Copies of this chain bind each other. A is one copy, B any other.
Amino acid sequence: MQNKIQLMVDTIEEKIINARRDFHKYAESGWTEFRTASIVARKLKDLGYDLLIGREVIRAEDRMGVPSEEVLHMSYERAKIQGAELEFLEQMKGGYTGVVGVLDNGDGPVIGIRFDMDAVEVEESIDENHYPYLNGFSSVNEGSMHACGHDGHTAIGLGVAEVLMNIKDSIKGKVKLVFQPAEEGVRGAKSIANSGVLDDVDYMFGGHIGIAQNSSGKLFCGMGNFLATTKLNAYFKGVAAHAGISPEGGKNTLLAAATGTLNLQGIPRHGDGITRINVGKLVSGSGRNVIPSEAYMEIETRGSSSKLNKYMEEKTIKILKSCAHMYDVELTIKEMGSAENEYSDEEAIERVKFAAQKIKSLREIIDRPVGFGGSEDFSYMMKKVHKNGGKATYILFGSDIKGPHHNGKFDFDEKDMINAVKVFSVLAYDILKK
């Protein structure tokens, strides 16, 4: 059967690639995946899956970093124009762009697989050698680009959906294909994890394509040493004044933010493990001769445990508050996203290895590589499943990438999507087979 599955995947290779290119062309950023999610819903429904959409799988109060009403509205309207499936759109209004396809085959284990759908806020390269540009499927949506491979993830999910439906007579139990919005900025997973949709899951898998040069055909299993992370925005509000006439009259938000930047960067390292801090963006001031009365900072903290990330987050907030006090300016801090540190289970890892060994097109299986310093809100799903006694792990599907992740030249090798479909399908079959 495992061989049959692989042949089945090869048959739909072109379909998977086309789906990926379609998603790539109409890239949609986090919480605005109206077109993408509605097309996913259409395909799943047509295949025969039961659908859970929008607030059925997204807990409103756990969404983070949701764009403004205006952006949501404009994206919604754009999706209509760009061919969204209108039938499902209403349920997603306001940015509830999650879809779960359920295949319920009676008693047996429940398996969940997560696919994230959102694009990155990056401008796509117009370099002649950039494959999507050359082949006419570059993003048409200014400021959004699939520069992290989630177009591929969504296409993989649809491939897996087709395969598992094809072999549904050979399996028992339940399949939940979780299409998640807003993984970028680690904003979406928590709201799905807390929606209840994963409460019965016994085995939860997630994965990512890409990562490194010269890795096509390699599979890295047992990932899960993600760094816990918190994403914060800080908004300072002061008072403007003429910098020549009355420099003392201002309340200078830039001095507060610059002092904050240096002191955040200097938060002491921690003896217990890895920590990270980054002020990724600072925008302050309205004009050269005016004391800056506004400042905006995008900050992230990370830690090799949730405790260490908490240490970083608390120091960050203390520093920001002290800087605001120093310059007598107002400060608002907003949490824009977060992810936990969470472990991969031995059993789940072994199952992945077991399945992967059967995939002929894989070149190498690498067990538990050392941490890559990244963060993933899939950790929320792992935690939820663990809490209920389930097992979870995360897989990297190596692919020769053309530019770094989150870079306008990013591209992966589409063949590695095919490998991923095979791995997930065989893995699910192995667990669910009658």
Contact = CB atoms under 8 A, between A and B. Distances in A.
Interface stretch (A8-16, A54-62, A77-85, A316-324): A316-324
B250 A268 contact: yes
A374 interface: yes
A358 B140 CA distance: 69
Interface stretch (A153-161, A166-174, A259-267, A346-354): A259-267
Interface in A77-118: none
Contacts of A270: 247-248
A292 B284 contact: no
A409 to B, nearest CB: 12
A405 interface: yes
B271 A280 contact: no
A295 to B, nearest CB: 8
Q: Which of A121, A250, A290, A336 has the most CB of B within 10 A?
A: A290
Nearest to A336: B288
Contact of A271 (B249, B283, B284, B336): B249
Contact of A262 (B255, B278, B290): B255
A311 interface: yes
A332 interface: no
B280 A290 contact: yes
A244 B302 contact: yes
Interface in A9-34: none
A407 to B, nearest CB: 8
B280 A242 contact: no
Copies in the complex: 4
B266 A262 contact: yes
A281 B279 contact: no
B255 A263 contact: yes
A262 B259 CA distance: 7
A252 B318 CA distance: 14
Given A247-B268, A287-B406, 20 more contacts: A231-B288, A243-B276, A243-B302, A246-B271, A248-B271, A254-B279, A255-B262, A255-B266, A262-B263, A262-B266, A263-B326, A278-B288, A280-B286, A280-B290, A282-B282, A287-B298, A288-B298, A288-B336, A318-B328, A322-B323
29 contacts: A242-B406, A243-B276, A244-B278, A244-B375, A245-B372, A245-B373, A246-B373, A247-B276, A248-B270, A248-B271, A252-B268, A259-B259, A263-B326, A265-B268, A271-B373, A278-B289, A280-B285, A280-B288, A280-B291, A280-B292, A281-B288, A282-B282, A282-B284, A285-B298, A288-B336, A289-B300, A318-B326, A319-B326, A326-B326
Closest 10 CB pairs of A and B: A265-B266, A322-B326, A243-B278, A245-B373, A281-B285, A280-B288, A258-B258, A258-B261, A288-B298, A246-B271
Interface of A: 121, 185, 227, 229, 231, 242-250, 252, 254-255, 257-259, 261-263, 265-266, 268-272, 274-292, 298-300, 302, 311, 318-319, 321-323, 325-326, 328, 336, 372-375, 404-406
